[in-house]
């Protein structure tokens, strides 16, 4: 379900700039920031680098870019 949400001009402007750098649309950039914020709030002891690694790993798994780990 999609609902219209009012966002500040400053947030939209920042998202537009970062989106261009990250090759995303402004709405996708805001979704990305929201996802990071949610993970950070739910896991306050994780570093930003670890959160980023989690997101990269999820993306790789969704694309099927996984291989079985070989022990030993």
The Cα–Cα gap between 58 and 67 comes to 13
Q: Which domain range does residue 30 map to?
A: 10-62
69 inside domain: no
Whether 44 is covered by a domain: the verdict is yes
pLDDT of 68: 86
What pLDDT is attached to residue 15?
A: 97
Q: What is the pTM for the complete model shown?
A: 0.73
Calpha distance 66→8 (Å, rounded): 39
In a domain, 5, yes or no: no
Per-residue pLDDT of the chain (72 residues; tens, 9 = 90+): 678 899 999 999 999 999 999 999 999 999 999 999 999 999 999 999 999 898 889 889 999 998 888 898
The domain tally of the chain equals 1
Residue 52 CB contacts under 8 Å (≥ 6 apart), including other chains: none
Domain assignment of residue 70, yes or no? no
Q: Does 56 fall in a domain? A: yes
**Do 55 and 35 contact (CB within 8 A), yes or no?**
yes
- 36 belongs to a structural domain: yes
Q: What is the pLDDT of residue 61?
A: 93
Domain membership flag for residue 21: yes
């Amino acid at each position: 379900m999609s609902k219209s949400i009012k966002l500040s001009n400053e947030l939209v402007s920042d998202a537009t700039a970062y989106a261009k750098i990250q090759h995303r649309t402004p709405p996708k950039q805001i979704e990305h920031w929201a996802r990071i914020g949610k993970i950070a709030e739910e896991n306050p002891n994780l570093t930003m680098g670890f959160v980023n690694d989690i997101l990269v790993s999820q993306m790789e798994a969704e694309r099927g870019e996984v291989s079985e780990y070989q022990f030993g």
